[in-house]
């Protein structure tokens, strides 16, 4: 969608809106959570996903309108359809986390989340490779229409699998009460408040990374659509490697994984800064390395973040805790790329040179994102999690003890 918008001449602000719309509309989880007792988890998710698929079919028609609509009108049309798509997603997604929490035992949630993330990354890698093959180096509107139609058909197919997931116990008794939901008390629950603060800092850094790295590769990097999609697919291979951390998460807790993930993202922000400033050449190998780390970093942070939310949210009122958790996180994720896009458009093509180091709007974004990742690392230390190990223990297990056990097994064979 970002590449299609770029072919229509979309600005950085429009790209920010496209990226931010999905997390922004998660705010509708707050009112939607009140309807879960009447509808149930499974029906709520199924209905929302079905409506989303209809909007994808409509989006597949937009590239064909180029013969009688100008680019500005097409951008407005695609934004309108994305609004409907993401509104239905935002409303129905309030049922997903409490549904999964109710059917997955606590001792297995870390492993489940890692496997879930791995399956998403594997299928996304295949999807990106299909898109790269279908679009080629100079895609026509019909090729974008074909990709969107393929997305709609696979979304329709996924409904048959969604129906096979067992429904969980209904929402807790507090959800049935006519008493107003104590949102202030939920937000001020100490372990939960610390988690929300960390998620805000994280979202301010991560919010624009996907859209603006793609925009950088297209405008300054000199890569075509096929190359960008193939390079971006490495992101999902990086996410697949998070499988190695599944048992560590359940055994050591989420905090050390979160701390490790912050370190990975600081390294990523530094790498993109060096590329955008001209300090390092923008080669395919460098992009592959950064995309791989981005996939790994996101998978580690996202899975451990969700697991910690499951651990610290009380059973009573869990649906509302999850609704607030997702709304606060996604609201920041949605606003972040829009604000960054406005700032980057405001700077335009301005550049400042210090010897070999060039400061431009991309450098300012990557440095700013890195600063927020640093703040996130500080806030991770304040999180409350029973029996969480130290990050040093995780590093020792991953880098020293684990490889030694593998080597010992090989030697005995």
User: Does 210 score more than 90 pLDDT?
Assistant: no
- Please tell me the predicted confidence (pLDDT) of residue 33: 74
- Please tell me the predicted confidence (pLDDT) of residue 299: 86
Mean pLDDT of 154-160: 92
- Please tell me the predicted confidence (pLDDT) of residue 175: 46
Highest mean pLDDT among 260-274, 351-365, 386-400: 260-274
Report the predicted TM-score, pTM, of the whole model to 2 decimal places. Answer: 0.73
- Structural fold of domain 2-164+184-412: Growth Hormone; Chain: A; (1.20.1250)
- Please tell me the predicted confidence (pLDDT) of residue 105: 82
Q: Work out the mean pLDDT of the chain and round it to a whole number.
A: 82
- Please tell me the predicted confidence (pLDDT) of residue 61: 93
- Please tell me the predicted confidence (pLDDT) of residue 392: 57
Sign (positive/negative) of CA torsion 97, 302, 92, 165?
negative
Q: Of 3-7, 314-318, 347-351, 381-385, where does mean pLDDT reach its minimum?
A: 314-318
User: Does 174 score more than 50 pLDDT?
Assistant: no
């Amino acid at each position: 969608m970002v590449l299609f918008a770029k072919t229509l001449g979309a600005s950085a602000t429009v790209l920010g809106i496209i990226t931010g719309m999905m997390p922004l509309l998660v705010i509708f989880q707050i009112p939607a959570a009140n309807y879960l007792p009447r509808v149930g988890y499974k029906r709520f998710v199924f209905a929302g996903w079905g409506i989303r698929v209809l909007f994808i079919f409509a989006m597949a028609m937009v590239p064909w309108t180029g013969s009688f609509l100008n680019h500005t009108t097409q951008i407005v049309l695609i934004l309108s359809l994305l609004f409907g798509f993401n509104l239905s997603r935002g409303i129905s997604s309030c049922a997903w986390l409490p549904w999964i929490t109710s059917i997955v035992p606590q001792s297995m949630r870390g492993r489940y989340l890692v496997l879930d993330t791995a399956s998403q990354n594997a299928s996304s890698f295949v999807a990106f490779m299909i898109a790269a093959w279908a679009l080629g180096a100079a895609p026509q509107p019909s090729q974008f229409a074909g990709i969107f139609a393929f997305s709609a058909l696979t979304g329709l197919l996924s409904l048959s699998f969604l129906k096979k997931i067992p429904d969980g116990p209904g929402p807790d008794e507090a959800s049935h009460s006519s008493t107003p939901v104590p949102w202030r008390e939920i937000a001020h629950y100490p372990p939960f408040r610390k988690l929300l603060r960390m998620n805000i800092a994280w979202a301010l850094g991560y919010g624009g990374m996907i859209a603006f790295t793609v925009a950088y590769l297209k405008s300054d990097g000199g890569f075509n659509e096929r190359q960008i999609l193939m390079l971006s697919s490495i992101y999902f291979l990086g996410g697949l490697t998070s499988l190695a951390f599944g048992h560590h998460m359940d055994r050591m807790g989420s905090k050390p994984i979160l701390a490790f993930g912050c370190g990975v993202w600081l390294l990523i922000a530094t790498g993109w800064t060096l590329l955008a400033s001209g300090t390092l050449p923008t080669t395919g190998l460098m992009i592959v390395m950064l995309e791989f780390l981005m996939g790994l970093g996101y998978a580690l942070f996202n899975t451990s973040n969700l697991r910690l939310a499951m651990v610290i949210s009380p059973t009573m009122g869990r649906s509302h805790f999850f609704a607030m958790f997702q709304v606060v996180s996604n609201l920041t994720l949605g606003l972040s790329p829009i604000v960054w896009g406005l700032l980057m458009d405001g700077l335009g093509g301005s550049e400042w040179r210090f010897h070999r180091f060039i400061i431009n709007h991309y450098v300012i974004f990557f440095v700013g994102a890195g600063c927020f990742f640093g703040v996130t690392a500080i806030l991770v230390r304040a999180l409350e999690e029973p029996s969480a190990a130290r990050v040093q223990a995780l590093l020792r297990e991953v880098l020293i003890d684990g490889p030694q056990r593998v080597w010992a097994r090989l030697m005995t064979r």
